[in-house]
Amino acid sequence: MVVPGVEGAFSYRVPSKLAASALPGMRVLVPFGHRRLTGIIIRTDTAENPKATREIEHVLDERPAFSPAMLQFTRWMSEYYLCPWGDVLKAALPAGISLDEKRHWVLSEPFDEARLAEILKMYPDAHDVVEALKAGPVPPERMAKQYGFGPRSAMLKRMQDAGLVSFRPVLRPPKVKSHFDSVVNLSAEVQAEYGPDYLGRLRSVHEQHLLRMIFECGPEGILRSDLLKGATSARKQAFARLLAAGSLALRLEEVTRWDPHTEATPKISVPKQLTDYQQMAVEAISRSLERGQFDPFLLFGVTGSGKTQVYIEAIRRTLEMGKSALVLLPEIALTPFVWGRFYQAFGNRVAIQHSAQGSSVRFDLWRDIRAGRFPVVVGARSAVFAPLPNLGLVVVDEEQEASYKQEEPEPRYHARDAALMRARMEHAVIVLGSATPSIESFYQALEGRYTMLRLPERVGGAILPEVRIVQRFPKPQIEGEVPKEKWVNGEPPKKEDKPPKHEEPPILTEELKERIAITLKRGKQAILLQNRRGFSPFIICRKCGNLPMCPQCSVSLTYHRKGQVLRCHYCDYREPAPDTCGKCGASDWITQGLGTQRLEEELVKEFPDARILRMDSDTASRRGMHGRMVTAFAAGEYDVLAGTQMIAKGLDFPNVELSAVVQADAELFYPDFRASERGASLIVQIAGRSGRRAETGMVILQSSVPEHPVLQVAVEHDWETFVQTELQSRQQANFPPYARLILLRAIGKEETPPAKALLRIRRLLQTIGKVEILGPAPAMVAKIRELYRFQMLVRTSRADDPAGNHLHQAVRMALMQYRQVKGEPGVEIEVDVDPQSVS
Ligand code: ADP
Ligand code: ZN
């Protein structure tokens, strides 16, 4: 048995009365230490186990929460990502359904009033506490907060010693439970005697109305809540009369709180015929589906080539074979449009999972998916755990997306990689789709491990947009280089005392402004990317160069014009924007850099008549807001959409004719081995938003380094060449896919212990040998929320350690040894297998 949050597995005896119902994958209530907890059975054994001294108390499930396949999958995840199995199982279950014990204050019985009287003399407040406890157990937090008695309160200790109260485990019911509703049907007697003729025997119009609704629903019956939705009191009385007369029968049933219609689906036109390329891709996938074996595909299709339609057709074939299908999308792509296409294709056979759903809905979906009611599941990262029985096909759209990586809490899994493993274990076909496949996946396809399927053309003859690079400001001068024109009479120019005043270049170049104007005049839409929220990344005192920093993190504060605040984008610390500099007292701030708010302001100034929508995590983080904004823009309620990378992904806006990246180089210079890939992918994606129908689109990239090879990729729409060059540099630097990486992070309140902890682990790793170690070094943001962060990268090359077994084994052993000897106090070690970013 495994308990969430606890390392290791534990043995329990199964009392004979539970022998038949305690099966692997079931949740059980067990005594654990001084309390009771929910655990999950991972294996049952008929032989007596001498280590099993305690018994299982209750079995909490009627059918296993985990199938054997899901147990195997979660176990792999725990081993691969070096994280307790129990934590993986917890991540795989919907939240709030476990039954746990926690210590509460409770009143002892029988209660000794005389003793209380003595205590009340010293502690008159004890009266309130006793009154509260009479109503039931009180958790320690409420005791401290509401009554002011903390865990070390002398009064509580006195009461405890006197045997009046105790602090003991109390079972807390799960927060989320099944929801039941009554299903209404005609009673058996009425059914047998009259059938539909019964309607004629009723005189009240209300009774007739109710009966008609019941007949319309057929033998399955109708939910009482649906039948009486919006009913007047006269109609409710009619219902009561029918019930009293024995005309109706009620049956209690577990119902779902998920309603697909709350997901707001716009009307979407369905393509009548696949293009030839789509057809070829679907055929190839279908042939593998028929073989029923693990088979990975890489669907490499330019933006607008109709990848989603390929998924839909492949899923249709999967369902015809009686199997189920799982579709993973980046959270940001789960818009009503995308969901609507799946809903239109599969109706009530498809369920959607996204982060805006409440815990009851998630629970119902999980239960119904497990029972096989939805053979198609569309969801974000965590849907990789969807308990679909009989999995035949897995789709991972935009497989290169960084958001597939779970960063916090454990398990730090990558949903694409986990999906590949799940497909392998369940003998399913998997399709990874993208216009800009990750370097890793492309490499696998080039090596012949994945089958590459190409969609090289846009649907409907739309051609890829023309991409132009526009110089945003003069090329930065290389240090030491002296501008020629300043030489006078063969003499180098005199050094100026002051550095030249740094003026920021205009945000929008003349060329981009002109293009926007043309687009607007033609009644078309434009999309502008600036991948930084806020107004400007920093404000600097012009006089003394003071740059306000976050007091808790080692980063500068971002200036937000709305509300005039400085905010930290790491910990969300906020303070009012100062009038005067705290260091020199001057009030001469300059803003540096460019955020979405400033871009919006500039657009409003330049195009006062245009309707401008800004979309970033400041405006679109509220539940459902992102979907609503996307829908409004698609419906033509706005002319210009300006925002961060969330506007670049997977959106299909037919009326967009211009897309632009305001600061294309901002994406490229970042100290991480994936920076070029990310930047290039983002630029290609944003370019892909324009001209998606037959008319030609235009893309403008503003940059200070127009010759940058990554920008040339976008001009040529040539991802494949980019991958080839990038592969070479990855090979030279020994990074994935040529190497395997595990990042170890150490976090602590003081500066030296984290570094010391990593140095100790480093020594242990060196003893084990055959791994390369980089660091420890401070993380790029060396302090977040007052915690210091150090990191160390452990690496093996693919040539020596193809599956990474040695690397994983070495790190596992080193960590075990480190913990056995007692780790550094106050230091937390995080393990990040296959880190997405190493900066
Ligand atoms: P991608 O995901 O490759 O960017 P989509 O699947 O979003 O492309 O398809 C782009 C647009 O083309 C969508 O509006 C879709 O409805 C349409 N489409 C896809 N396949 C076809 C087809 N065979 N015939 C006509 N239209 C299609
Ligand atoms: Zn901060």
The model's pLDDT over 537-560, given as tens digits with 9 standing for 90+, comes to 778 888 877 888 888 887 788 888
Question: What percent of the chain stands above pLDDT 90?
Answer: 38
Ligand 1 neighbour 301 (Cβ under 6 A)? yes
Tokens 């109503």 sit at which residue? Answer: 135
For range 277-297, the mean pLDDT: 96
Ligand 1 neighbour 459 (Cβ under 6 A)? yes
**What number does the ligand 1 atom closest to the CA of 303 have?**
4
**What number does the ligand 1 atom closest to the CA of 307 have?**
3
- Between vectors from CA 209 to CA 208 and to CA 210, what angle results, nearest 5°? 90
Ligand 1 neighbour 74 (Cβ under 6 A)? no
**What number does the ligand 1 atom closest to the CA of 338 have?**
7
Predicted local confidence at residue 505, as pLDDT: 72
Determine which residue's CA is closest to atom 23 belonging to ligand 1: 274
Which position has the higher pLDDT, 473 or 334? 334
Predicted local confidence at residue 385, as pLDDT: 96
Q: Which two tokens stand for residue 71?
A: 């147990």
Residue 566 has pLDDT above 80, yes or no: yes
Predicted local confidence at residue 60, as pLDDT: 84
Determine which residue's CA is closest to atom 26 belonging to ligand 1: 271
Ligand 1 neighbour 434 (Cβ under 6 A)? no
Residue 473 has pLDDT above 70, yes or no: no
Ligand 1 neighbour 335 (Cβ under 6 A)? no
For range 792-811, the mean pLDDT: 94
Pocket test for ligand 1, best of 267, 279, 280, 308 (most atoms within 8 A of CB): 308
Predicted local confidence at residue 622, as pLDDT: 73
CA of 557, nearest ligand number:
2
Q: CA-to-CA distance for 711 and 683, rounded, in angstroms?
A: 8
Residue 621 has pLDDT above 80, yes or no: no
Per-residue confidence at 478, pLDDT binned at 50, 70, 90? very low
- The least confident of 265-279, 311-325, 601-615 is 265-279
Per-residue confidence at 694, pLDDT binned at 50, 70, 90? low
Ligand 1 neighbour 706 (Cβ under 6 A)? no
Q: CA-to-CA distance for 571 and 531, rounded, in angstroms?
A: 19
- Cross-strand pairs, 743: 793, 832
Ligand 1 neighbour 308 (Cβ under 6 A)? yes
Determine which residue's CA is closest to atom 18 belonging to ligand 1: 306
For range 111-130, the mean pLDDT: 86
Query: What's the mean pLDDT when you consider all of the chain?
Result: 86
Pocket test for ligand 1, best of 395, 431, 652, 656 (most atoms within 8 A of CB): 652
For range 241-260, the mean pLDDT: 82
Q: CA-to-CA distance for 595 and 214, rounded, in angstroms?
A: 58
pTM score, two decimals? 0.82
Residue 476 has pLDDT above 60, yes or no: no
Ligand 1 neighbour 185 (Cβ under 6 A)? no
Residue 494 has pLDDT above 70, yes or no: no
Residue 745 has pLDDT above 90, yes or no: yes
Q: CA-to-CA distance for 164 and 179, rounded, in angstroms?
A: 39
Per-residue confidence at 10, pLDDT binned at 50, 70, 90? confident
> Nearest Cα to 683, choosing from 528, 537, 526, 838?
528
- The least confident of 231-235, 711-715, 804-808 is 711-715
Tokens 């930065």 sit at which residue? Answer: 476
Q: Which two tokens stand for residue 407?
A: 């960063």
Ligand 1 neighbour 652 (Cβ under 6 A)? yes
Q: CA-to-CA distance for 520 and 640, rounded, in angstroms?
A: 9
Ligand 1 neighbour 306 (Cβ under 6 A)? yes
Per-residue confidence at 500, pLDDT binned at 50, 70, 90? very low
Question: CA separation (Å) from 308 to 274, 282, 328?
Answer: 11, 11, 12
Residue 651 has pLDDT above 90, yes or no: no
CA of 329, nearest ligand number:
1
For range 248-261, the mean pLDDT: 79
Per-residue confidence at 264, pLDDT binned at 50, 70, 90? low
